[in-house]
Amino acid sequence: MFHALLECRDKAFCEAHPIIEFETARGLKQYSVCAVAQIEPSDAWYQFVDACDAEDYLDQLAAISRSAVYTSAELPQYGSQILTPSTCFGVNNAERLLVIAVEIPTRP
């Protein structure tokens, strides 16, 4: 379903397409791509749902940044909503590609 995410391994593609639009019944939100990482299916990122505190949040982002094939200038700040679509790739689809994007706040 998210096979097109593989394009995000290319820095030029990410820079040309920095925004993800995500629409739900609650409305449309926009997210800015801040990192693209190649990881194993067992990576701890898949258990990262809610950060306990700012330190946990920053530790998780630092860990995923070490696996990144692309990062933007700034990583999300603590408390920012993160969207992480992922897809399988590699030999026998044994690896995962994550596109990590931070919500762009809407203006009132």
Spans of all domains in the chain: 3-103
Question: What is the DSSP track for 2-29?
Answer: -GGGGGGGSHHHHHH--EEEEEETTEEE
Structure tokens that stand for 37 in this block: 């990482």
pLDDT at position 1 is 58
* CATH classification (class only), 3-103: mainly beta
Altogether, the residues listed in the chain come to a count of 108
> From start to end of the chain, where are the E strands?
19-24, 27-39, 68-71, 82-83, 86-89, 95-103
User: Residue 25's pLDDT band (boundaries 50, 70, 90)?
Assistant: very high
- The answer to which of 24-33, 41-50, 95-104 has the lowest mean pLDDT is 41-50
Token code pair at residue 58: 């920053």
What is the pLDDT at residue 9?
84
Is the pLDDT at 100 greater than 80? The verdict is: yes
Band (108; pLDDT cuts 50, 70, 90): low
**Statement: residue 8 has pLDDT above 90:** no
